[in-house]
Amino acid sequence: MDVSRRGFVAGGVASIAVAGTLDTLFTTSAGADEGEAYGYGPLIADPAGILDLPAGFSYKVLSAEGSSLGPAGGVVPGAHDGTGLFPGSTPGGSRLVRNHELGTSGTKAVAAANLTYDPKAFGGTSTVDVDASGNVVSQYVSIAGTATNCAGGVTPWGTWLTCEETEGISGQTKTHGWVFEVDPLGVKTIPEPIKPLGRFAHEAVCIDNHSHIAYLTEDSSGPFGLFYRFIPNNNRGGYHCYQDGGKLQAMRVPGVDDLSSVQVPGTVLTGIEWVDVPDPEATTVSVRKQFALTGQVTRSQKLEGAWFDSKKAYFVASYSRTSSGAAGNHAGQVWKYDPKANTLSLEFIFKPGGKYDSPDNITVSPYGGGVMLAEDGDGEQYLVGTTRYAKSFPMARNAFNDSEFTGVIYSEDRRTLFANRQSPGVTFAITGPFDKIRAR
């Protein structure tokens, strides 16, 4: 996201690598302790003024905005955001599919006509193939002509769903607010919107590995956004399987019109209902506005990150303010939907006023049983780690400017932590003694 928010927030991710079991992740309410006594110790000032890290850690700068894409031609687009990770072309390497949250300005994502949806739109994705030592093997724009590509999600069949966080752009030649599917191998990608997944201000998507039901978040206001599920007609998986259609539904929690009204961690809501969306393509009326009656659906301010683990869907409400019309104030909620039990549980809640500001993108950490969060707040920006014992700590600080971190994700071998600075866009590969974490 490119908005600024205050408060300690757990969420907003687009990309998430499931490196741990989330049922054991949230063992205590978060926000109890924070500081350099946990994690890897104090940050050391970077002489280059780029990225401050704890002692023993180092970084490489990869794929900076405006730099040459090499043999592929063109330059790296700007506004680096949500990122999915896949096996690289070399042993131990990684292939990153990275969003570019651009609308009608910035360093444009440019690709051949067969990979471009709307020539007037600036957003898209780029694919960066990195070896085990953090060297770029190749990179190219993998889809172009999309708008404000913020978040997304990795599919069980090994592709990246990139989501447009908009309902339209000025001067557009085509409609926007869709989800597009990107083949990380660069073979199958077709720049066609997956219209059955709806047209709205998409944030993130996660998918049940067994049923292939997708869960989607909406970051919008006037009125607030919704939490959706998509039941596919084709549940076999595979590239563009969702193009075969299905049923898009919005969540309704009986007696709860706004999730921010729930403030006690551990609260379990039962009897969750799913209401069919009348017009998923929002032909004349925005999807969230198609539910005009109070109590028809359950809303939330700032729905962002989503991921699936241990047969449950987790999603994040990044913050909520009564001054904006919400039912309650908080600086972040993490919810768990259990499809089998049909229950919704508040896993934890952050109260406003913590040390860090508005982490957005999120990935599960294989170290310390917690998560790694990318800040999108006011002033200094941090990568913030947490442990399963509710300890939070600084992992990195943007020493260059006040731009947010995005796309935080670990390599498959857990030896590298990738993260982006959004503006000017750059991807970092961070390495060091991750296993030396002080978790409690």
For residue 42, cis peptide bond before it (omega within 30 degrees of 0): no
Give buried/exposed letters for 356-381 (b at 16+ CB in 10 A, else e). Answer: bbbbbbbbbbbbbbbbbbbbbbeeeb
pLDDT of the residue at 2: 39
Q: What's the Cα-to-Cα distance from 281 to each of 2, 117, 171, 285, 298, rounded to whole Å?
A: 25, 17, 20, 9, 20
Domain that holds residue 383: 22-436
- Residue of 213, 225, 173, 216 lying closest to 198 (CA atoms): 216
pLDDT of the residue at 374: 79
pLDDT of the residue at 35: 53
pLDDT of the residue at 357: 62
- Asked whether residue 55 is assigned to any structural domain, the reply reads yes
363 alpha-carbon distance from chain centroid: 9
- Asked whether residue 375 is assigned to any structural domain, the reply reads yes
For tokens 């919008």, the residue is 220
- Asked whether residue 142 is assigned to any structural domain, the reply reads yes
- Tens place of pLDDT per residue across the chain (440 aa): 433 332 223 232 322 223 334 444 443 333 334 456 789 999 999 999 999 999 999 999 999 999 999 998 999 999 999 999 999 999 999 999 999 999 999 999 999 999 999 999 999 999 999 999 999 999 999 999 999 999 899 999 999 999 999 998 777 889 999 999 999 999 999 999 999 999 999 999 999 999 999 999 999 999 999 999 999 999 999 999 999 999 999 999 999 999 999 999 889 999 999 999 999 999 999 999 999 999 999 999 999 888 888 898 988 888 899 999 999 998 878 888 999 999 999 877 777 876 766 767 777 788 877 778 877 776 788 998 878 776 779 999 999 999 999 998 999 999 999 999 999 999 999 999 999 999 87
- Asked whether residue 189 is assigned to any structural domain, the reply reads yes
- Asked whether residue 239 is assigned to any structural domain, the reply reads yes
Q: Domain with 121 in it: what CATH number?
A: 2.120.10.30
Q: Is 137 exposed, middle or buried (0-12, 13-18, 19+ CB in 10 A)?
A: middle
Alpha carbons 63 and 188: distance in angstroms, whole number: 24
- Asked whether residue 357 is assigned to any structural domain, the reply reads yes
- Asked whether residue 10 is assigned to any structural domain, the reply reads no
- Asked whether residue 11 is assigned to any structural domain, the reply reads no
In the three-class reduction of DSSP (H, G, I as helix; E, B as strand; rest coil), residue 144 is classed as strand
Q: How many domains does the chain have?
A: 1
